[in-house]
Amino acid sequence: MRELILNALRQEQYISGERLGKRLHISRTAVWKHINELRKDGYKISSSPQSGYSLIESTDRLLPEEIMTGLEARIMGRRILHYTEVTSTQDIAAEFARNGALEGTAVIAETQTKGRGRKGRGWVSPTEGGIYISIILRPNLKPFQIIQIPLIAGIAVCKAIQKATAVRPKIKWPNDILVEGKKVAGILTEISSEVDAVNYVVLGIGVNVNTDKSIMVKIQGGMANSLSGVCGKTISRVKLVQFFLNEFESAYTIFLVDGFHSLRRDWKKLNTTIGSEIIIRDGGEEIEGTAFDINEDGFLLLRTKNGEVKRIVSGDVLPGNRI
């Protein structure tokens, strides 16, 4: 019913409660109750005895009906579950996946109390301003190929940000999304698999979109940024999610058919790691060298000082100031 009311409000500039009720076969009181529910969800709807109801502004809450209106993707976001608060969207999505939810099911929350990042780190997830989304994937791949999924998700996040703003983000290997050298988005991939087959993957994306400056300065020792902070204006989170789902669906489809090699060029264009002298820190280990390429499997190729070539599977990239 909410969707029908919203559709009617989108089609007509003004519509009376009586006409809306007649059209949807409900009473005027029922219309009024639904309108109030929509207002609670952040829709700005005016009402006047002369002209009726009018939709002034849609909500920026990441409600399924908002995201699905105008969504081109057919698989990614085919089902969207929206929560006001969760521990982590990764937990909720994994539970849905265990219970058989289809590929493309997306779990979105307005805030997370235990948002998590790579390598056991947390992901600060304040209300209003961020995007916290986890998508269930069921690729017919071997477990070792899964490291390529966050790489292609990184391409999709960058393209979505480019479409929603004037900003040109860059990828720091493997999948930190940076703007002006500071992190605006992160990607976390969690997998359930047998030795040689994948059960499901939960792909989690966190984006600092309109997050308040006072919060941003406290994240990652001041090394995080929000898109609104860079652009100086509020960005539509709904549009950004739509762009991401569209871009990710295109990239994922190519990836499943042709493999990572057909997206490798896109990734290389967007990355900021290749060509730099870096230190890779993984657990207690550090390797220094010059990143000179990414291979067809998604491994970063590093040439050390003594000319040895290392294939890096995981780790954090730090500036190579000690070389």
Q: Which residues bind ligand BTN (CB under 6 A)?
A: 88-90, 112, 115-118, 121, 123, 132-134, 176, 186-188, 204-206
Instruction: Report in angstroms how near the CB of residue 178 gets to ligand BTN at its nearest.
Output: 11
Instruction: Report in angstroms how near the CB of residue 91 gets to ligand BTN at its nearest.
Output: 8
Nearer to ligand BTN, 141 or 187 (CB): 187
Sign of CA dihedral 149, 169, 156, 225: positive
CB 270 within 8 A of CB 294: no
Token pair listed for 21 = 């009720």
Instruction: Report in angstroms how near the CB of residue 150 gets to ligand BTN at its nearest.
Output: 9
Instruction: Report in angstroms how near the CB of residue 132 gets to ligand BTN at its nearest.
Output: 4
List beta partners, residue 206: 132, 186
CB 311 within 8 A of CB 303: no
User: 208: part of which helix (H) or strand (E)?
Assistant: strand 198-208
Nearer to ligand BTN, 39 or 121 (CB): 121
Nearer to ligand BTN, 113 or 304 (CB): 113
Nearer to ligand BTN, 53 or 132 (CB): 132
Which residue, judged by CB position, is nearest to ligand BTN in the bound state? 186
What is the biggest distance separating any 2 CA atoms in the chain, rounded to whole angstroms? 81
List beta partners, residue 304: none
Q: How many CB atoms lie within 10 A of CB 84?
A: 9
Instruction: Report in angstroms how near the CB of residue 255 gets to ligand BTN at its nearest.
Output: 20
Nearer to ligand BTN, 151 or 205 (CB): 205
